[in-house]
Copies of this chain bind each other. A is one copy, B any other.
Amino acid sequence: MKAFDYEYYHETKPHVNPRFPYNTYLCTIPLDFTNISTHWHDELELIIIKKGQGRTDVDLISHEVQAGDIILVLPGQLHSISQLCDQHMEYENILFDTRLLYSQHPDICTTEYLRPFFERRYFVPSHIHSGYPYYPGLYGCIKELDDICSRQEPYYELFIKSILYRFFFLLFSAQPRQEVSYAGEQNIQRMKKVLTFVEENYMHSVSLSDAAGFLNFSPSHFMRFFKQNMDMTFTEYLNDYRLSISAKYLSETEESILWVAEQCGFSNLSYFNRLFKRKFNMTPREYRSAR
């Protein structure tokens, strides 16, 4: 079982249409969960802060975000969302398959503008806030997307596409293309390796040395590398990942809580219970009955 399926994090999926891979979700931190740990996926994601403040990381760079901000996460970019101090944050996720915007006819929009951008051959900043050029236009696009999705009139998918093209037109117009700096790219690739290692081994007993060895790092070097890039220790990340999986088991199976804890690599039930309550603000039993 893998975490970071959005189905898990979001119990309602209001706009799912298999014929149109575009979805929106609403979340509240810390009400729904305290954080979404670093992960990546093939969809493009827009994170729109609706209320409050919080923190998002994109490709290992932190952004303090507040109501009105838009975070752009390209396919494959590492990202996480977390609570900032005691702040509360409501946000919306928009996720879509970028191939929606590729034309069957290989036109200039596809080959010169969108594909190179979605494949991260050039970039624009991830953090779009009120000081950003064309911000009102970009935020206007988001409002129109929300509006059309809530009404779901016939043919609304055509209008979504219309707005997405406008969004990227404005985004690219806002500033000249910048070549990608490869300085941080090696760290990002290393971090993806570690996260994949966790995904494949969380159910076993995993030590810091195991993970460090996987990158050919010494344990102390690995510890510093992980903390520096992820702003949490490797053990914190591993536990968080295990808790995400456990929540999935709790809501999708009838297995005992002990079984769930063990499946997720927790050998101590009371330790599992304590960590679970800290992340989800309720006990595993409460979590299961609330779902």
**A97–B105 CB distance below 8 A:** yes
Q: What 0/1 pattern do residues 206 to 223 of A give for CB contact below 8 A with B?
A: 000000000000000000
Q: A155-B172, A169-B159 are in contact. Are A105 and B111 (CB under 8 A)?
A: no
Q: What 0/1 pattern do residues 167 to 185 of A give for CB contact below 8 A with B?
A: 0110011000000000000
The 8 closest A-B pairs by CB, nearest first: A162-B165, A99-B105, A19-B108, A102-B104, A158-B169, A162-B166, A159-B169, A161-B165
Classify chain A's interface size: 35 or more
21 residue pairs bridging A and B, Cβ less than 8 Å apart: A19-B107, A19-B108, A20-B108, A21-B107, A100-B105, A101-B103, A102-B105, A103-B161, A104-B104, A104-B110, A113-B157, A113-B158, A153-B173, A155-B169, A155-B172, A155-B173, A156-B169, A158-B165, A159-B165, A162-B163, A165-B165
Decide yes or no whether A154 CB sits under 8 A from chain B.
Answer: yes
What is the CA–CA distance of A110 and B158 in the complex, to the nearest angstrom? 9
* Cβ-neighbour of A109 out of B105, B112, B114, B158 (below 8 A): B158
Residues of B within 8 A of A109 (CB): 20, 157-158, 161
Copies in the complex: 2
Decide yes or no whether A17 CB sits under 8 A from chain B.
Answer: yes
What is the CA–CA distance of A112 and B166 in the complex, to the nearest angstrom? 23
What is the CA–CA distance of A112 and B158 in the complex, to the nearest angstrom? 11
What is the CA–CA distance of A97 and B107 in the complex, to the nearest angstrom? 10
